[in-house]
Each structure stands twice: as structure tokens, then as C-alpha cells.
């Protein structure tokens, strides 16, 4: 095959993919109304809020200083209020000795979006992962659990940002 044939094939493939609406994951712009946003959380320390603020920066969104939740009417920007995260474990399997071999981790995320007009929308979703436990490697498994939870928070933050883009179309 010649280089011209290969390049023509690639060009046709790209044209077909773009024509059918294919887009790379995370290849979108955050809605104009969310270019400035306030992010608040229900608890003193929220790892999800920290991840969300970092992910919003990736999309060039400006995060306004956090203030007390009752003061949000003073701002003409949307407010994201992150409710406490929750992680549950569901038993999937046991070792022959009766010890837990595998869990399903269920990460619950709830948040509210308050628009400057005062409209409030509630959102919730869950993410799941399987986690294999090994009682002989407690420290390694503890670190693995921390990494899985960090990944789930990153995915939750990205999902919140995608939902913000959809919220613009629905309001």
C-alpha cells in the first residue's frame, strides 16, 4: 500500500467519525453560565470538593471563594453544593475459610445546583467497583482501596461537570 492510500483511508475514517457525532471523551466545553461557579460542601473537609475544584480548573472555569451556604443569594453565579459522600461495601464472595474475598464498592454522590435565579436542582448518582480483599496483604489492599476511592472521586467530579453542561441545555 502506498502512503497516499493510507492517508486517504485515515481521512475517510476521520470524516465518517466526525459526521456521526463521535467526540473524544471529556472533549466538551463547560456551559457559559458555569464559567464562574461557587462550590460549597456540607462538611468541613470534602475530598470530592477538592477534586471537583481541580477538575473545574482543567475546563477553565473560575471557582468563586466559598462562603457560608446562606449567603449564596449575594452572588450572581451558580452554586454547586456538594452533599456528604457515602461509600458502602456489598459482599460478593468469600474464601473457603469464611473470610471476605471480594466486595462491590458503591460510591454515592449527591449535589445541588442553585442558579442565580434561585432555582435549585438536585442530582444524585452512584459509581461501583469490585474490590478483591486479601487478608495476607492488609497494607497493600488498604493503599489499593485509597487509590480506587480517589479514582471514583475523579470520575464523580467529571460526571458532575458533564451534568453541568447538560443543565445549561435544560434550563
**CATH code for position 131:** 3.30.160.150
Query: φ, ψ for residue 46 (rounded to 5)?
Result: -130, 105
Report whether pLDDT(147) > 90: yes
Lowest mean pLDDT segment, chosen from 18-27, 92-101, 148-157: 18-27
Per-residue pLDDT, 161:
92
Answer for the pair 167, 32: CB distance below 8 angstroms, yes or no.
no
The three state secondary structure string of 91-143 is: EEEECCCCCEEEEEEEEEEEEEEECCCCCEEEEEEEEEEEEECCHHHHHHHHH
The parent domain of residue 133 ranges over 30-170
- Per-residue pLDDT tens over the stretch 108-146: 999 999 998 889 999 999 999 998 877 777 777 788 889
- Per-residue pLDDT tens over the stretch 4-38: 787 777 877 777 666 665 555 555 577 778 888 99
Size of the chain, expressed as the number of residues it contains:
171
In a domain, 17, yes or no: no
- The DSSP output letter for 18 is H
Quick one: what percent of the chain has pLDDT higher than 90?
36
> In the numeric block, which cell numbers belong to residue 1?
500500500
In a domain, 21, yes or no: no
In a domain, 42, yes or no: yes
Q: How many domains does the chain have?
A: 1
Say whether pTM exceeds 0.85. no
In a domain, 7, yes or no: no
In a domain, 155, yes or no: yes
CA distances, 117 to each of 17, 71, 81, 114 (Å): 39, 14, 16, 8
pLDDT band at 167 (very low <50, low <70, confident <90, very high): low
Query: Which of the two residues, 7 and 68, has the higher pLDDT score?
Result: 7
Mean pLDDT of all residues belonging to the chain: 81
Amino acid at each position: 500500500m502506498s502512503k497516499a492510500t493510507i492517508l486517504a483511508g485515515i481521512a475517510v475514517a476521520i470524516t465518517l467519525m466526525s459526521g456521526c457525532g463521535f467526540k473524544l471523551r471529556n472533549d466538551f466545553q463547560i456551559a457559559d453560565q458555569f464559567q464562574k461557579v461557587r462550590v460549597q460542601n456540607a462538611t468541613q473537609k470534602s475530598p470530592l470538593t477538592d477534586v471537583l475544584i481541580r477538575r473545574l480548573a482543567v475546563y477553565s472555569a473560575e471557582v468563586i471563594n466559598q462562603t457560608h451556604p446562606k449567603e449564596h443569594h449575594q452572588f450572581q453565579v451558580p452554586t454547586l453544593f456538594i452533599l456528604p459522600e457515602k461509600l458502602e461495601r456489598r459482599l460478593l464472595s468469600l474464601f473457603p475459610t469464611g473470610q471476605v474475598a471480594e466486595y462491590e464498592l458503591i460510591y454515592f454522590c449527591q449535589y445541588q445546583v442553585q442558579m442565580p435565579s434561585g432555582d435549585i436542582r438536585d442530582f444524585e448518582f452512584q459509581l461501583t467497583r469490585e474490590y478483591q480483599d486479601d487478608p495476607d496483604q492488609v497494607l497493600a489492599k488498604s493503599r489499593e482501596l485509597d487509590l480506587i476511592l480517589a479514582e471514583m472521586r475523579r470520575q464523580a467530579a467529571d460526571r458532575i461537570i458533564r451534568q453541568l453542561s447538560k443543565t445549561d441545555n435544560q434550563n
